[in-house]
Amino acid sequence: MGDGPSFEEVSSIAQNILGRVKHRPKIGIVCGSGLGGLADDVQDAEILPYSEIPTFPVSTVPGHMGKLVFGILEGKTVVLMRGRLHCYEGYPMWKTTIPIRVMKALGVTTIFLTNAAGGINPDFNVGDMMIIRDHIDLPGLTGECVLRGANDERFGPRFLATVDTYDPELRATCKKVFQDLGLSQLMREGTYVMIGGPTFETVAESRLLKAFGGDSVGMSTVAEAIVARHMGMRVFGLSLITDMCCLSYDTANHTTHEEVLAIGQKRAEDLKAIVMRLLKDTTVE
Ligand SMILES: O=P(O)(O)O[C@@H]1C[C@H](O)[C@@H](CO)O1
Ligand SMILES: Nc1nc2[nH]cnc2c(=O)[nH]1
């Protein structure tokens, strides 16, 4: 096989993990930059640092601890990635999604992807949360789709339809969760654009992404969503808007990762409440 992990490698990582943890999760959660606090509420937790799982890639970004956390959250057996992988860390795109393939091999059928993102839609505010309705795979559009390379049908089909990537039922449930929790004023829905990073956008790039129809922008999530759908998983995505992209040279400010993490901290409790309630209201087979 060219690009991508082999089916055997993914199975072997999953077998290693299954031999070391008792939990058998059906739901996986990927914690975005600064959003790992969710893991603190996991009951009966079993924790595996990525560095202790043979051939598993490790996280190198501040705000991403690099641990798999297994346990019970809101009565559901879950596995959380406390720290994700990004291609700007030097990984080929396919490698950043090995954990998603491993989750499927562990029995996960539904995945919640969270991220910290810049707001492109001028109606958004810092601290809003955007339910991802659709995405723009900018790397994919330029030939770097995560599914590039030989395809193993045991994972999924060669050609993948992506019109329904983000599960409509989970999106509807999440909208109700915002209402029930009295957080509707923070709720947004829209299109997430993935860029490679690690540079934040120039003013001209932000304008381009806005013209493309993007509402938020970040450096992750899309490849994970595609790989999850490739394997038939249900996908839900949520962006925390941690900064607003500059659309004018007059108001140009300098986004920093520290700022991103600080907003993550500030909104941690609301985000946690939403994800926990969504978990509670989600039925899994
Ligand atoms: O892992 P996510 O997508 O939440 O992280 C975002 C994108 C960059 O990794 C980082 C920039 O501050 O936050
Ligand atoms: N590309 C990008 N990623 C982010 N992650 C958090 N904020 C941002 C942002 O403004 N731009």
Cα(79)–Cα(27) distance, integer angstroms: 7
* Nearest atom in ligand 1 to 240's CA: 4
Query: Tell me, what's the pLDDT at 60?
Result: 86
Residue 41: the pLDDT is 94
pLDDT at 56 over 80: yes
* Ligand 1 atom nearest to CA at 218: 7
pLDDT in tens, 158-178: 999 999 999 999 999 999 999
Query: Across residues 183-203, what is the average pLDDT?
Result: 97
* More confident: 63 or 88: 88
Residue 219: what residue type? Answer: M
Question: Is 4 close to ligand 2, i.e. is its CB under 6 Å away?
Answer: no
227-284 pLDDT per residue, tens: 999 999 999 999 999 999 999 998 777 889 998 999 988 998 999 999 999 999 999 8
pLDDT in tens, 6-37: 999 999 999 999 999 999 999 999 999 878 88
| Residue whose CA is at the smallest distance from ligand 2 atom 6 | 117
pLDDT at 63 over 80: no
Whole-number average pLDDT of the chain: 95
Q: Is 106 in the pocket of ligand 2 (CB under 6 A)?
A: no
In this prediction, residue 285 carries a pLDDT of 77
Q: Is the pTM of this model over 0.90?
A: yes
Ligand closest to 85 (CA) is 1
Q: What is the pLDDT at residue 51?
A: 94
Query: At residue 1, does pLDDT exceed 60?
Result: no
Q: What is the pLDDT of residue 2?
A: 58
Q: Residue 36 Cα, ligand 1 centroid: separation in angstroms?
A: 12
Question: Of the ranges 55-59, 162-166, 181-185, 237-241, which one carries the lowest mean pLDDT score?
Answer: 55-59
pLDDT of residue 137: 98
Q: Are 45 and 70 in contact (CB under 8 A)?
A: yes
Ligand 2 proximity of 119 Cβ (cutoff 6 Å)? no
Q: How far apart (Å, rounded) are the C-alpha atoms in residues 185 and 172?
A: 16
Nearest ligand (C-alpha, residue 256): 1
